[in-house]
Structure 1
Amino acid sequence: MAYRRPLTPTQMVIISALWLALVLWLLFGGARLDGPTLLTLLLSGVIVFYPIVKSWRQRRR
């Protein structure tokens, strides 16, 4: 796999803020909170925050 530079702290904050804005938009926009919606939000959080945590750990070394 090709080498990737870790995310910068600014990129981490922007990606997190955009994900949070999307989640709040879905929750307060009238979407029903049923099983598939909650599962989708949980899985999207994993997809978004796994690279952020990985980059953060790589920068701390």
Structure 2
Amino acid sequence: MGWYGWAVVLIGTFAGYLLGALYGIALILAGRTGRKSRIAFGPFLIARTFTGMLLGTYAR
């Protein structure tokens, strides 16, 4: 993402953390996990790359 500029990197990084947090909150509210459970972050790293590439083009 760094090849495309700082806007893409910042949007992508924020999106990855936001998606991971929303997923964790949804699991807690659904009662499927607790606050101390671990969640794999790899899928959110891939999602942040795609999100940064798609939304970062509009930030230019």
Q: TM-score, normalised on structure 1? A: 0.46
**Bigger CA radius of gyration:** 1
Q: TM-score, normalised on structure 2? A: 0.46
